[in-house]
Amino acid sequence: MLVYAKGLLKCGAPGVPFFFDKRKSFFTKTKRGFHSLPSVTRDRVHFNNNLRYSSKSTEVVEKTVIDMDSKEDKADNPALSSYDDAMEALSTLISRRNRGDRTPTSGSRDKLEQVIAYLKILDLEDKIKELKVIHVAGTEGKGSTCVFSEAILRNCGFRTGMFTSPHLIDVRERFRIDGLDISEEKFLQYFWECWKLLKEKAVDGLTMPPLFQFLTVLAFKIFVCEKVDVAVIEVGLGGKLDTTNVIQKPIVCGIASLGMDHMDILGNTLADIAFHKAGILKPQIPAFTVPQLSEAMEVLQKTANNLEVPLEVVAPLDLKKLDGVALGLSGDHQLVNAGLAVSLSRCWLQRTGNWEKIFPNQESKETEIPVAFCRGLATARLHGRAQVVHDVVSDPQGSSGSTETSCGDLIFYLDGAHSPESMEACGRWFSAAVTGNKSLSTAVNGYRRNGEYSRESRDFNRVSKQILLFNCMEVRDPQVLLPKLVTTCASSGTHISRALFVPSMSTYNKVISGASAIPSDTRRKDLTWQFRLQRLWEKSIQGTDAALDHTLKSDGITALPPHDFLCGDAPHCGGPAGTQVVTSSAVMPSLPLTINWLRDCVRRNPSLKLEVLVTGSLHLVGDVLRLLKR
Ligand SMILES: Nc1ncnc2c1ncn2[C@@H]1O[C@H](COP(=O)(O)OP(=O)(O)OP(=O)(O)O)[C@@H](O)[C@H]1O
Ligand SMILES: [Mg+2]
Ligand SMILES: [Mg+2]
């Protein structure tokens, strides 16, 4: 359903394609990846898609069969494994905490020692000391800062490795080599090498690592074997006790914007959070951060002083210095991340002795941004951060293949904000994007179908509606997140007229790939959380006190709202028998049904331009991208 535009950006660098080809068949793949191994015949391939969905609660997927013995055989011979086998093996490493259970676990202080033990088993303990690392912590903007830094150094001619989290669609997104997700072939090769060694040697006191620890040591394995010049590494959670903090001597450290998230683990004050993040600073290794609230900055500065770290606060990037080039990631907050990335990259080049070689005439012009840096900043890409996707809704009655259909427009604005500060950033970006969208020049971090520009003239006759598609994890506080979003949008002139609350499809106990099957919609879901979100929306944002379970059928499945729910000025009217309840929101039974319903809405109303902000959870954003991609 989706077409992306791969074009030349203003600075002349080719745009990086966002979605890569769907997975090639296993047979092609193994032939390409493992030439020396015996050829594989179809009947030896074992796909384990035998899944059952729980009828009870939050999308828990239970495997009816876990055939791990045969997985071990595949570890001996990667050519026998499919990508799904690797995902299934990975899923067995998911611990309680990954599933949203935040009960404190004991022994986290020993965690880094445990990671070092895994590195020893993989013969990586000394080799990772050779990696030239940029290490980035922070509450918001870590991933974006990493992506900008990686793109800058790649455009300066270096072989780059980047490890970020989380992934949205496929676990390989976490591992980029030279700016591209690692190939399946290489992933499987390194994955099984690590898996096998750890399985063999990790016994008794040292069991298999939990998921994030495994992924981190796998990243080290990949970067060492791929001989990257620079390894850009994002902290998973916090800093001090994070698995990535086994890095002893990075070239430079970055601390992105700090805010209130993961308080259950990091502490309830900004100072507590800053203390954990500052835990990545290393004696005398230069560090950069962005402007922070004084409560956070004091802690960062104190830690830096104790470690004799030169800590520099970097101002947001001045767009004028980019010579008219737009950043590859949208939103004003990205200027903050880009500024940090420029300083990190420059410092990395200087400390590795490359700055003078590459820019012999640039010493005196430190304040200028080299052209290679601009190219990196303009071509950096990251899914689900201020990403715009124009959906292509086909008109069953219209002339097929024509861009001039009689359907309305459906545009998704996707941003994985999930903290109060990022909600504000997201609200500002959404408002600016929908207001500026009339010029149709905003979709840098997104897609545009061919011929889209022909629609411009029709925009005058369209009725634009901004609606919200929202979910968040239960550990987060929607009482803070939702009002932050709505008031930020309102103060920038954007009124969100309707809100849809929907459960995510992704599960916390299964690692899936881009090609994994989309769960069927036939199962019943527990929508208690979504009804709570809706009640909150109606009460504290709309000021209504409606009895909201009117759409809930007796079998526990909600009905979809009528199609005119989004376009008319009159809000949704309905209610239990004999009552009239007026709402500006709805709980949707599932994400696939919601996307289809939105498409139906614009099919039925050619004058409607639906601008859907998808936010609150990176899982939700990833799921929507996955659905739009198909
Ligand atoms: N500098 C910033 N200030 C405020 N919000 C930001 C900033 N940078 C990014 N964001 C918000 O945070 C979201 C996540 O951005 P990004 O992936 O770069 O951060 P992250 O720290 O890696 O997040 P995560 O905790 O999901 O790993 C964005 O979608 C955006 O809403
Ligand atoms: Mg976060
Ligand atoms: Mg991240």
Q: Is 385 in the pocket of ligand 1 (CB under 6 A)?
A: yes
Can you tell me the mean pLDDT for 366-390?
A: 93
Q: Tell me what pLDDT residue 504 has.
A: 85
Q: Which tens digit of pLDDT belongs to each residue from 409-444?
A: 999 999 999 999 999 999 999 999 998 754 433 334
* Cβ–Cβ under 8 Å, residues 489 and 427: yes
**Ligand nearest to the backbone CA of 292:** 1
- Tell me the CA–centroid distance for residue 317 and ligand 3, in Å: 20
pLDDT of residue 473: 92
Which whole-number Å values give the CA distances from 213 to 113, 117, 406, 472, in the listed order? Answer: 12, 11, 51, 25
Please give the mean pLDDT across all residues of the chain: 79
Give the mean model confidence (pLDDT) for residues 463-479.
94
Q: How many CB atoms lie within 10 A of CB 363?
A: 10
Radius of gyration of the chain (CA): 25
- Residue 512, CB-side half-sphere exposure with 13 Å CA sphere: 21
Element at 587 (helix H, strand E): strand 585-587
Query: b or e along 266-297 (b: 16 or more beta carbons within 10 Å of the residue's beta carbon)?
Result: beeebbebbbbbbbbbbeebbbbbbebeeebb
Check whether 360 has a pLDDT greater than 60.
yes
In this predicted structure, what is the pLDDT of residue 58?
A: 27
Q: From CA 505, how far away is CA 590, in angstroms rounded?
A: 8
Of these ranges, 75-89, 188-202, 576-590, the one predicted with the greatest mean pLDDT is: 188-202
CA geometry: angle at 487 spanning 485 and 489, to 5°? 70
List the structure tokens of 91. Answer: 């899923």
ipTM here? 0.99
Instruction: Looking at the CA of residue 259, tell me the nearest atom of ligand 1.
Output: 4
* Alpha carbon nearest to ligand 1 atom 3, residue: 333
Is any atom of ligand 1 closer than 6 Å to the C-beta of 421? yes
End-to-end distance of the chain based on CA atoms, in angstroms? 6
Q: How many CB atoms lie within 10 A of CB 554?
A: 5
Query: Does pLDDT of 466 surpass 80?
Result: yes
Ligand 1 centroid, distance to 142 Cα (angstroms) = 7
Residues, CB-to-ion distance under 5 Å, ligand 3: 142-143
Q: How far is the CA of 244 from the centre of ligand 2 (A)?
A: 15
pLDDT tens-place string over residues 109-137: 588 999 999 999 999 999 999 999 999 99
d(CA 561, CA 586): 7
Cβ 141 under 6 angstroms from ligand 1:
yes
The ligand that comes nearest to the alpha carbon of residue 141 is 1
Q: What is the mean pLDDT of residues 276-281?
A: 96
Q: Whose CA is nearest to atom 17 of ligand 1?
A: 143
Instruction: Give me the pLDDT at residue 312, please.
Output: 98
pLDDT band at 542 (very low <50, low <70, confident <90, very high): confident
What tokens appear for 494 in the block?
Answer: 């954007």
Let me know: does 127 contact 224? Beta carbons within 8 Å. Answer: yes
Please give the pLDDT value at position 536: 92
- Check whether 169 has a pLDDT greater than 70: yes
**Ligand 1 centroid, distance to 614 Cα (angstroms):** 15
Please return the burial class of 75, using the count of CB atoms within 10 Å of its CB with bins 0-12, 13-18 and 19+: buried
Q: Which atom of ligand 1 is nearest to the CA of 140?
A: 21
> Hey, is 157 helix, strand or coil?
coil
Indicate whether residue 425 lines ligand 1 (CB < 6 A). yes
The string of pLDDT tens digits covering residues 189-228 is 999 999 999 999 877 678 899 999 999 999 999 999 999 9
pTM for the model stands at 0.83
Number of H helices, E strands in the chain: 18, 18
Give the mutation target among 164, 344, 422 for probing the ligand 1 site: most ligand atoms within 8 A of CB: 422
| pLDDT of 463 higher than 80 | yes
CA distance 602 to 328: 29
User: Please, what are the domains in the chain?
Assistant: 108-379 (3.40.1190.10), 387-514+525-629 (3.90.190.20)
Number of other CB atoms surrounding residue 593 within 10 Å: 14
- Which atom of ligand 1 lies closest to the CA of 336? 1
The predicted-structure confidence for 14-67, as pLDDT tens digits, reads as follows: 333 333 233 333 222 333 332 222 232 222 222 222 222 222 222 222 333 334
Q: Which ligand is nearest to the CA of 256?
A: 1
What is the reported pLDDT for 75?
Answer: 59
- Compute the distance from residue 288 Cα to the ligand 3 centre, in Å: 18
299 lines ligand 1 (CB under 6 A): no
Q: What local confidence, expressed as pLDDT, does residue 559 receive?
A: 80
- For ligand 1, whether the C-beta of 140 sits within 6 Å is yes
Phi and psi at residue 433, in whole multiples of 5°?
-70, -45
